[in-house]
Amino acid sequence: MDGILYAIAIMALGGVVLGALLGYASTRFKVEGDPLVDKIDSILPQTQCGQCGFPGCRPYAEAIAKDEADINQCPPGGDENIHKLAELLGKEYKPLSEEHGIEKPKQVAIIDEKVCIGCTLCIQACPVDAIIGAAKQMHTIAEDLCTGCELCIPPCPVECIHMVTVVDTPDTWKWQKPGTASRVIPIIPVMATIQSEHA
Amino acid sequence: MKLFSFKGGIKPDPNKTQSTVLPIAQAPLTSRYIVPLHQSVGGTPRPTVQVGERVLKGQRIGEADGWISAAVHAPTSGTVVEIGPHIIPHPSGLATDCVVIEADGRDAWIERTPFDLDQAEPDAVRDYLRDMGIVGLGGAVFPSHVKLSVPRGKQVEQLIINGAECEPFITCDDRLMREQATEVVQGSLLFGRLLNAGKVLIGIEDNKPEAIAALKEAQQQLEAPLEIVTVPTIYPTGGAKELIRVLTGKEVPGSRRSTDFGVQVFNVATVQSAWRAITYGEPLISRIVTISGAVGEARNWSVPIGMPINVLVKLAQPRTDMDGVIMGGPMMGFRIPATAAPVIKATNSLIVHAPGLFPPKPAELPCIRCGSCAQACPQELQPFELYWWSRSAKFEKLENYKLFDCIECGCCDFVCPSHIPLVNYFRFAKSEILAEQREQQIADAARERHEFRQERAEREKREKAERLAKANAARKAEGKDLSAAALSPSPKTAPANDPDAAPDISSHPDQASTPISMDNHPVLDATAKQAAILAATERARLKREKHAGKSRDTTH
Ligand code: SF4
Ligand code: SF4
Ligand code: SF4
Ligand code: SF4
């Protein structure tokens, strides 16, 4: 009799412990959305330009995950991203599909504030709220938020938005791989005539 | 005092005696000074002057942007003739915004008031040093006030003042310690006091006996409670992590701050200039620069920040076959892109280059995995592994080999029998990794903003539908028509939590967030559009006329 009671108690305890564990696991390892879509989306450049044929990066990521779109349709991501997607998905690399566009250096939009009539059409087009302004007031673009998607260009009735290529600053400039031609030759420490000793 | 040692290191020919014979000379006044706004690690200072404005020597011309940033000042009196991009001494060869001052020859100071330390809160001292433009003069140009704030709960046991100056050819700190020993000692005490440091140690390599003697004498005269420690001459003892190791035995990993281990390090010239700022109210407008190499007269100069390098180098009688200038030393320096670039706060040394000064580097051969580089590395890294993964652009592997612990000292390059430009591979890999991190941050921010916007669009759609449904119900109930409901003011839907970033679209008659093509735009039909454009161009013309003559640089 005692044995049965023990068995019941142990089973009950086990149930409680396992239940708690499961509960913990479900909050601890909760996944929001599809993890594969998230992974693909994290590779995509988030320009939100729609050149891939989808209304933004996430929809394209979803289509790739469902195998409904190819991996070479995103011009802003370019070659590098196609390689990353190919690696992630175990697919073969293929060059950027020309019909979707060409890879360009990063650009940002600039509003000619002298011409802007404050119509707010560009604000409505901008996928990342990078344009600041109110109706009938001149608008400006927050340069560091602009993804360069060009979606604000066609709606502007006075054609006052232009794309400019982002130029390097000393802070964003990158060292080139040795052996590639570069403008500046960093001095290499060679005093070959000098004996070097190890300390 | 017991000294420790670090692994590795090398002993290159110091080449220091050439420039230590003569005392520091004051660079004569020149006609034009080019002062870059961005001279320290951190934010880019905003100009506080306009083109055409007259400035006095020591007047602030750029104010610090954020906490990690430091002000810049006019090196002499004169007129601001331009604010615009000029090439700066940086390996990129790129230009950044500079304030160009045409000197009036009077060299007239702004009013200087000493800072009353006894009355001031610690925060006020730090703000003051930031506004006086005090940054690390050892070459790293990190704003000093930032390093003077110790994280809560941490205590600086040892404050190390770095007078090691281990890099060949450079002697600016050596001459400064010899000639301004009292100010160096007082500056060291000042920082010890600001940090409430347990101990103040000045570390100097044993190849500078005159500097050591001068400092010891100053210390005795001032009865200064600090220690002057002679350390062996091994490159790169002057590296902060290496000097900490030698003086305290503490090992600071690459990713950690030295204050986490109770140590802080400043260069001798930094504490001296901070002391002058406090005592005399003098901002950082000049520094000592060693000019050496292929010149007739190698020596140190006290040079106003902004002096064009070609004007300065001429004073040293460069050889006629000179073909470039190296900023920094032969181990860590780089060839400057254009000699018209100005002296900046980071310019500790200029080596005039001519054929034969340094033998050309032989061609790169394959790595034989001899391990010499690992033996020489003071950071105890394995440069050949770093090289292998940098070269094959497998950046994710580099973390395992602690790429960011590399201080780019060049010891590995120096000993490599295959003449591989290892440091350049590491610089390449580091900048690729940092750029990728930057891009990822930008993409993440864009994703977030896009999602936020979509949510808002959804909400607006829902609210609109609800309003319509309500209006319809009301109309049905009261038999009224829709127009009354449609005329009622619409609720403000722009998000309130982000007023700057979120565009104000509340006053627009149509609040849909989806792009609207011109053809079916509800507000602007063809004639209205035409009229709007005409009105806008007219407005723009008037505005242009009104603003003509005003400075163009107020929006910067
Ligand atoms: S093409 Fe544009 S919208 Fe499509 S994934 Fe690339 S960046 Fe995103
Ligand atoms: S400002 Fe124009 S180019 Fe920039 S993100 Fe917005 S819509 Fe795209
Ligand atoms: S010293 Fe040069 S050759 Fe030897 S292991 Fe290092 S990189 Fe390779
Ligand atoms: S440059 Fe980097 S890897 Fe080479 S010896 Fe110095 S710290 Fe080590």
- Sites in chain B below the pLDDT cut of 50: 482, 484-526, 529, 540, 543-544, 547-556
Contact A173 B94 (CB under 8 A): yes
Question: Which positions ≥6 away from B117 have C-beta within 8 Å?
Answer: B125, B190, B278
The reported pLDDT for the residue numbered B519 is: 39
Which chain B residue is nearest to residue A185, measuring alpha carbons? B335
CB B332 within 8 A of CB B140: no
Q: DSSP assignment, residue B105?
A: S
Any atom of ligand 3 within 6 Å of the Cβ of B369? yes
CATH of B17-353, picked from 3.90.25.10, 3.40.190.10, 3.30.70.580, 3.40.50.11540, is: 3.40.50.11540
- Specify the CATH class of B362-485 in words: mainly alpha
Interval A124-159: pLDDT, tens: 999 999 998 877 777 788 888 999 999 999 999 999
The reported pLDDT for the residue numbered B476 is: 83
For β-strands B227-231 and B60-63, DSSP reports them as unpaired
- Distance in Å, alpha carbon of A98 to nearest chain B alpha carbon: 24
pTM equals 0.79
CB A157 within 8 A of CB B529: yes
Q: Which of A121, A123, A168 sits opposite B94 (nearest CB)?
A: A168
Any atom of ligand 2 within 6 Å of the Cβ of A146? yes
Q: Which ligand gives the minimal distance to the CA of A57? A: 1
Among A188, A193, A194, pick the best mutation site for testing chain B contact (most B Cβ within 10 A): A188
- pLDDT bin (cut points 50, 70, 90) of residue A3 is low
What is the Å distance from ligand 2's center to A127 Cα?
7
Contact A175 B415 (CB under 8 A): no
Two tokens, residue B25: 């000379």
Interval B396-443: pLDDT, tens: 889 889 999 999 999 999 999 999 999 999 999 999 999 999 999 999
**In 3-state terms, chain A is what percent helix, strand and coil (to 5)?**
35, 10, 60
Two tokens, residue B249: 């035995």
Q: Does B530 touch chain A (CB under 8 A)?
A: no
Q: How many other CB atoms are there within 10 angstroms of residue B463's CB atom?
A: 14
The reported pLDDT for the residue numbered A11 is: 58
Topology agreement, domain B17-353 and domain B362-485: no
CB B505 within 8 A of CB A123: yes
Contact A191 B535 (CB under 8 A): no
CA distance B172 to B289: 6
First CA to last CA across chain A, in angstroms? Answer: 80
Between residues A14 and B100, the one the model is more confident about:
B100
For β-strands A161-165 and B46-47, DSSP reports them as unpaired
CA distance B364 to B513: 58
Q: Where are chain B's structural domains? A: 17-353, 362-485
What is the Å distance from ligand 2's center to B542 Cα?
28
- The sign of the torsion formed by the CA atoms of A45, A47, A53, A59 equals positive
CB B429 within 8 A of CB B392: no
What is the Å distance from ligand 4's center to B205 Cα?
21
The reported pLDDT for the residue numbered B495 is: 41
Mutate to test the pocket of ligand 1, among A49, A72, A100, A146 (most ligand atoms within 8 A of CB): A49
Question: Quick check: A33 pLDDT over 90?
Answer: no
CA distance B188 to B268: 8
Q: Which amino acid is at B436?
A: E
Backbone angles phi, psi at B202, to 5 degrees: -105, 120
CA distance B228 to B219: 9
What is the Å distance from ligand 1's center to B430 Cα?
28
Q: Which ligand gives the minimal distance to the CA of A149? A: 2
Residues of B in contact with A168 (CB under 8 A): 92, 94
Q: How many helices (H) and strands (E) does chain A have?
A: 5, 4
Question: Which positions ≥6 away from B271 have C-beta within 8 Å?
Answer: B161, B184, B187, B188, B190, B191
Question: Which positions ≥6 away from A148 have C-beta within 8 Å?
Answer: A47, A49, A76, A106, A107, A108, A109, A163, A166
Q: Which of these, B527, B532, B505, lies nearest to B516 by C-alpha position?
A: B505
Edge-to-edge strand list for the sheet holding B60-63? B46-47, B60-63, B72-73
The reported pLDDT for the residue numbered A31 is: 47
Q: What is the phi-psi region of residue B73: left when phi exceeds 0, alpha when psi lies from -120 to 50, beta otherwise?
A: beta
CB B291 within 8 A of CB B311: no
Question: Which positions ≥6 away from A143 have C-beta within 8 Å?
Answer: A108, A110
CA distance A199 to B9: 6
What is the Å distance from ligand 2's center to A140 Cα?
11
**What lines the ligand 4 site, CB under 6 Å?**
B 376-377, 379, 381, 383, 406-412, 422-423
Q: Which of these, B158, B150, B185, lies nearest to B268 by C-alpha position?
A: B185
The reported pLDDT for the residue numbered A15 is: 52
3-state SS class at B215: helix
Residues of A in contact with B13 (CB under 8 A): 191, 194
Two tokens, residue B134: 């005090």
- pLDDT bin (cut points 50, 70, 90) of residue A73 is very high
User: Average pLDDT for residues A42-71, to the nearest whole number?
Assistant: 94
Question: Quick check: A194 pLDDT over 60?
Answer: no
Backbone angles phi, psi at B61, to 5 degrees: -115, -15
Interval B182-196: pLDDT, tens: 999 999 999 999 999
- My answer on whether omega of the bond before B236 falls inside 30° of 0, hence cis, is yes
The reported pLDDT for the residue numbered A139 is: 78
CA distance B282 to B14: 33
The reported pLDDT for the residue numbered A40 is: 95
Interval A174-188: pLDDT, tens: 999 987 654 444 444
CB B63 within 8 A of CB B46: yes
Helix (H), strand (E), coil (C) string for B269-333: HHHHHHHHHHHHCCCCCEEEEEEEECECCCEEEEEECCCEHHHHHHCCCECCCCCEEEECCCCCC
Atom 4 of ligand 4, nearest CA residue: B412
For tokens 């670090």, name the residue: B6
3-state SS class at B267: strand
Edge-to-edge strand list for the sheet holding B227-231? B227-231, B199-205, B158-163, B263-267
DSSP string, B373-433: HHHH-TT---HHHHHHHHHTT-HHHHTTTTGGG-----HHHHH-TT---HHHHHHHHHHHH
Contact B518 A157 (CB under 8 A): yes
Which chain B residue is nearest to residue A48, measuring alpha carbons? B450
CB A146 within 8 A of CB A109: yes
Mutate to test the pocket of ligand 2, among A131, A139, A156, A163 (most ligand atoms within 8 A of CB): A131
The reported pLDDT for the residue numbered A199 is: 29
Which domains can be identified in chain A, with CATH numbers? 36-100 (1.10.15.40), 105-168 (3.30.70.20)
- Distance in Å, alpha carbon of A41 to nearest chain B alpha carbon: 9
